[in-house]
Amino acid sequence: MSINQIIPVLILVEVIIILLFFLIVLSRKIFIYFEDKRIAIQRAEISRLLNEYIIHDKPFPLKQELKAPSCRKILLTTLEAYDRRFNGEDWKRLRKDVAEHYLLPTARKWAKSLFWTKRNFAARCFACAPFMEDETEIITLMDDPIFLVRSIAAVAAIQLEIKDAVIKVIRHMSVTPGYAHFFYRDVLVQGSAQVFQWVEELASEEKDPSIHLSCLEVLASKTMEIRQPFLKEDLKSDNLKIRLAAIKSYTYSPQYDHTDILFKFLQDPNVRIRTEAIRGLEFILTEQSYVELGKALKDDLWVVRFQAANTLKKMGRKGLDILNEQDRIKNKEAYEVAQFVLQTP
């Protein structure tokens, strides 16, 4: 075959390929259009049923009106969206009933799927409607190799108040950096008083510094009295992170001696410790607090002076008076940081 015969054939093949590609793209766009329209209709119907229950107190159909195989993912995302806007026992009961009827049968099948998207769906369903009968599946999903699966499973486990799961979340938190670390912390912080009691017990028993530190981070995130004596030892720790977490616990979780402890650590050689102790004085409206914060305005480091000024600004009229009384001649640094904070909205 000569070159003159090959060229038209090649052109024809290219045209056919381009047409096929165009048809595939067009078909895909048509499919997406109608699929989006179908999803919008189903989501609107689910929202209508939920709204009728919430606004007009009509019963939610649990038998015939919704077909789980065709709209379970839409139903789950709609329930999650409503959950961010509504609270209260009535809503929680509805969410649990709907999820139990339409979602959990599928979730229990998909919990051990080879596909992580299905395992993620299962974990989200368990978080939406946690039941103790699903404890084994939830605990298993907490060790999933995919963070988007194990993190959601942790949410379900903490809602169920499973002690082994609380310990597992702490252990995951202790070895996970970045966003995941703080995600686990926030999950635990939203737990019940029983969850905090288990965290406190683990902090008292655990010798591993990273696990103990994770416990302290959780305990320091909620106002509560810590009954175990380990905080005293943590204040003497050679590990700066543990000392700092212990100080934060005294800052946000008032102990019987927290005032004396905070005053003592205002003189700590570490700047982060001094700064945290200053932050903790915001809620101790005593004469000594104002005196000590006035001294901190003259600290050698700007970050300490700035935190002292910020704390005084939050402590009412007397704190503002101390800031306004700073004299440029007597102490230029204290005057400048006081003016900076006073002029900052």
- With vertex at residue 83, the alpha carbon angle to CA 77 and CA 84, rounded to the nearest 5 degrees, is 100
Q: How far apart are CA 35 and CA 160, in angstroms?
A: 37
Q: How far apart are CA 106 and CA 137, in angstroms?
A: 13
At 178-187, the pLDDT tens digits run 899 999 999 9
Confidence class of residue 16 from pLDDT cuts 50, 70 and 90? confident
Task: Give 48-115 as a DSSP string.
Answer: HHHHHHHHH-PPPP-SSS--HHHHHHHHHHHHHHHHTT--SHHHHHHHHHHHHHHTHHHHHHHTT-SS
* Neighbouring C-alpha atoms within 13 Å toward the C-beta of 235: 20
pLDDT at position 227 over 80: no
pLDDT at position 103 over 60: yes
What is the sign, positive or negative, of the torsion defined by CA atoms of 134, 135, 141, 142? positive
The per-residue pLDDT of the chain, averaged, comes to: 83
Helix (H, G, I), strand (E, B) or coil at 276: helix
In this structure, of 92-101, 126-135, 220-229, 274-283, the range with the lowest mean pLDDT score is 220-229
pLDDT at position 64 over 60: no
In this structure, of 25-34, 98-107, 139-148, 195-204, the range with the lowest mean pLDDT score is 25-34
Q: How far apart are CA 338 and CA 326, in angstroms?
A: 7
In this structure, of 80-84, 200-204, 270-274, the range with the lowest mean pLDDT score is 80-84
In this structure, of 4-18, 229-243, 294-308, the range with the lowest mean pLDDT score is 4-18
Cβ-Cβ contacts under 8 Å for 112 (sequence gap 6 or more): 119, 137, 140
* Neighbouring C-alpha atoms within 13 Å toward the C-beta of 2: 2
Whole-angstrom CA distances from 285 to 124, 259, 298, 306 are 45, 11, 20, 19
The domain 257-345: what is its CATH number?
1.25.10.10
Whole-angstrom CA distances from 207 to 106, 153, 269 are 42, 27, 26
Question: Which tokens belong to 206?
Answer: 């655990």
Counting every residue written for the chain, the total comes to 345
Helix (H, G, I), strand (E, B) or coil at 329: coil
Residue identified by tokens 């699903």 is: 134
Please state the rounded mean pLDDT for residues 213-239: 82
Domain map (residue ranges) of the chain: 44-55+72-160, 257-345
Q: How far apart are CA 279 and CA 307, in angstroms?
A: 7
pLDDT at position 238 over 70: yes
Please indicate whether residue 126 or residue 60 has the higher confidence score (pLDDT).
126
Other CB atoms within 10 Å distance of the CB of residue 289: 24
Q: How far apart are CA 335 and CA 326, in angstroms?
A: 5
Give percent of the chain above pLDDT 90.
Answer: 28
Query: 165 with 142: CB under 8 angstroms?
Result: yes
Angle between helices 332-343 and 302-313 (to 10 degrees): 50
Please state the rounded mean pLDDT for residues 14-19: 80
Whole-number pLDDT of residue 69: 46
Helix (H, G, I), strand (E, B) or coil at 138: helix
Whole-number pLDDT of residue 68: 46
Please indicate whether residue 132 or residue 252 has the higher confidence score (pLDDT).
132
Whole-number pLDDT of residue 55: 67
Model's pTM, two decimal places?
0.76
In this structure, of 25-34, 256-265, 267-276, the range with the lowest mean pLDDT score is 25-34
Please state the rounded mean pLDDT for residues 243-261: 77
pLDDT at position 63 over 60: no
Whole-number pLDDT of residue 83: 81
Whole-number pLDDT of residue 330: 84
